[in-house]
Structure 1
């Protein structure tokens, strides 16, 4: 390829709305992660995280609130405003920061940093694979749902068994499943762009929704890896 060809390709990418849509999606995802870890580190450094989890049933309320936000955004995506979508995403990211604060309090700082670095590397590789592939991944939806349900069942069983070896197997399965889901969600970012192409409002909403899905992939990957790589304090 000649230099002029490379310049033409770069210019085409700069004009292509798909690249801008994908970039916007990942910027929102990174923004959500920044909020989450900023809240988590603040709560951990100030010891406020222990106050939160000293309140009875607060962890359950937090879980219900997070699930409610995800369900609300999924069900009302086409009906609520773009700013409302952004608000839901920011609130969800902040609430998850409480969970991350508890994780940072439970594990050594070195383990947390290692888990974050490994998560970023694996996530980046699988997300890139999803963006580069031209294969139709819509048929993998049922496989993704089955994998998540199997993971949930395994974790419920381990609540009663409390086996270290079984927990390690769950973590390995969780890492593998969310690596696959990352590729699926990354490719779906492009699919949603083509589905809503021409409607800027729906594209903005799809960008937030895709950012939330990718954000959840990274957070879950981090949580399984930190359990796999280190022991609690």
Structure 2
């Protein structure tokens, strides 16, 4: 789903649900996803189940592949999925991510994770408010954001085979900046979906779930880059 800059500010009839309620509902789904990830990661770590999961050969690659498949399928089939199906896929992704995140408790202290989570929430909140209230058109930065994502993917793929540790701090700084911009951009798109799907309650609901997933991904990526940049690993 995509929109041009004019559609961000169109003043079409917005149906019975106000923009404020629609936005609150979208962020509600997003925070529900984060809570699910948090609960699953804690439960997986405390129960020791993560040890069983990660003894499976290529477990990380399998989980990463499943996560990617969920995102791609939801993005490609959002118009044909039922509202319940879209929600199920969203929470399936949150559960998979929770399993992956359980390993963070081995690498970082709990106090560090909490502190970085709080910092992420603050930065995310500031950019979300900026994206929601400003009249600036963040869609103009879309080529930069796309190129930035490709650049980060290439860098981390190379880092799997070549020691690029000396550039990690620079790349983490860039990643933080990139996902702050994505946060404002994706928050701004909530208004576009609300206007575009006025009168189509089913599509508006699915667009809300899709927006929640995008914001969830922005938060998670911002958290991970801040954790790499600020967090001290266990010895």
TM over 0.5: yes
Q: Provide the residue aligned with 1:8 in structure 2.
A: none
Matches within 5 A, 1:164-203: 164-203=165-204
CA RMSD of aligned residues (A): 1.3
Matches within 5 A, 1:209-228: 209-228=210-229
Please state if 1:124 is matched with 2:125.
yes
Q: How many residues align structurally?
A: 219
Note the residue ranges of structure 2 that are not aligned, 5 or more in a row.
1-15
Q: Provide the residue aligned with 1:139 in structure 2.
A: 140
Single out whichever of 50-59 and 34-43 deviates more from structure 2: 50-59
Q: Provide the residue aligned with 1:9 in structure 2.
A: none
1:172·1:228 contact (CA, 8 Å) conserved in 2?
yes
Q: Which has the higher contact order (CA 8 A, sep 6+)?
A: 2
Single out whichever of 153-162 and 216-225 deviates more from structure 2: 153-162
Q: Provide the residue aligned with 2:8 in structure 1.
A: none
1:163 Cα shift? 3.7
Note the residue ranges of structure 1 that are not aligned, 5 or more in a row.
1-14
TM-score, normalisation: structure 1: 0.90
Deviation digits for residues 143-167 of structure 1 (CA, Å, limit 9, x no counterpart)? 2111101111121222233243311
Secondary structure class of the residue paired with 2:103: helix
1:102 Cα shift? 0.9
In structure 2, what is the Cα distance between the partners aligned to 1:65 and 1:121? 30
In structure 2, what is the Cα distance between the partners aligned to 1:80 and 1:108? 40
Single out whichever of 212-221 and 133-142 deviates more from structure 2: 133-142
TM-score, normalisation: structure 2: 0.89
Q: Provide the residue aligned with 1:161 in structure 2.
A: 162
In structure 2, what is the Cα distance between the partners aligned to 1:116 and 1:185? 20
1:51 Cα shift? 1.6
Deviation digits for residues 56-81 of structure 1 (CA, Å, limit 9, x no counterpart)? 01111111111111111111111110
2:138·2:184 contact (CA, 8 Å) conserved in 1?
no
Q: Provide the residue aligned with 2:34 in structure 1.
A: 33
The runs of 4+ residues in structure 1 deviating greater than 3 Å are none
1:190 Cα shift? 1.0
1:16 Cα shift? 6.0
Larger helix fraction of residues = 1
Deviation digits for residues 19-71 of structure 1 (CA, Å, limit 9, x no counterpart)? 11100000000000000010001111122212211110111111111111111
Deviation digits for residues 73-122 of structure 1 (CA, Å, limit 9, x no counterpart)? 11111111000000000111000001111112211111111110100000
2:117·2:223 contact (CA, 8 Å) conserved in 1?
yes
2:130·2:184 contact (CA, 8 Å) conserved in 1?
yes
